[in-house]
């Protein structure tokens, strides 16, 4: 049987050791072949439950008073992700904004720390979004790039 035969594919499906995980996800169209897992993968049922619990038990019940403990969640969340996904030790990972947001905040803080300077220096080898961020800051503040 050739690997291009339908029967071969069906046999692989029947023997797939991961097939039981399918029931853990929201699948509205069972005939759709969805291969875009890098962007928005299939929605896990557990995520729906977790978000609903958060909205009703934490946000819904605590409203603004929840900030007193939510603000500190970046460290324990980072520890959990770091330990389970990367084998990192406590304090080695932090859950926070995106890399671009953090770069923007860092660049702006550095610029504000030296207000007399009028030029931002970068190079063409920097990641494109980093250059775009610096271009935006330079334009906004009337600086040279």
Tens digit of pLDDT at every position of the chain (145 positions): 899 999 999 999 999 999 999 999 999 998 988 887 666 788 999 999 999 998 998 888 988 888 888 888 889 999 999 999 999 999 999 888 888 999 999 999 999 999 999 999 999 888 899 999 999 999 999 999 9
Tell whether pTM > 0.75. Answer: no
- Please count the other Cβ atoms lying within 10 Å of the Cβ belonging to residue 129: 13
DSSP result, the chain: --TTSHHHHHHHHHT-TTGGGGGGB--S-TT-----TTTS-PPBHHHHHHHHHIIIIIIHHHGGGGHHHHTTTHHHHHHHHIIIII-PPTTS----S-HHHHHHHHHHHHHHHSTT--B----TTS-HHHHHHHHHHHHHHT-B-
Residue 11, CA atoms < 13 Å, CB-side half-sphere: 8
């Amino acid at each position: 049987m050739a690997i291009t035969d339908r029967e071969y594919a069906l046999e692989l499906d029947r023997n797939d050791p991961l097939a039981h995980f399918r029931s853990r996800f929201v699948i509205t169209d069972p005939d759709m072949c969805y291969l875009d897992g890098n962007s928005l993968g299939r929605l896990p049922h557990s995520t729906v439950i977790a978000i609903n619990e958060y909205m009703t038990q934490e946000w819904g019940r605590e409203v603004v008073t929840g900030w007193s403990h939510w603000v500190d969640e970046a460290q324990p969340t980072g520890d959990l992700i770091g330990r389970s996904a990367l084998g990192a030790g406590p304090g080695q990972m932090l859950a926070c904004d995106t890399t671009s947001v953090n770069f923007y905040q860092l660049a702006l803080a550095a610029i504000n720390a030296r207000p007399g300077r009028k030029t931002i220096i970068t190079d063409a080898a920097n990641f494109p979004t980093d250059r775009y961020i610096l271009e935006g800051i330079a334009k906004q503040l009337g600086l040279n790039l």
